[in-house]
Amino acid sequence: MAKWIKCTALNSPDHVIYVNLDQVVSISGSVKGGGSVITYAGGETNQFVVNEAPAFILQGTII
């Protein structure tokens, strides 16, 4: 079963992003303010930015 976590888009707190952790290649904390860049393998849009820190994403509640 896939592991999903709920995040919010950077600069758009009303925009919810559900991240499938099984498909994530990397999570880097290079965004000012504690956000993260999440990278998926392949696809046209394989990277996006969220408000949550990497530690929150990796230790957060799976939905």
Domain count, the chain: 1
Concatenate the DSSP letters of all residues of the chain into one string: ---EEEEEETTEEEEEEEEEGGGEEEEE--STTS-EEEEESSSS--EEEESS-HHHHHHS---
Give pTM, 2 decimals. Answer: 0.82
Enclosing domain of residue 49 = 4-59
High-pLDDT (> 90) share of the chain, %: 52
For residue range 28-62, list pLDDT tens digits in order.
997 677 799 999 987 777 898 999 999 989 887 77
Q: pLDDT band at 10, cuts 50/70/90? A: confident
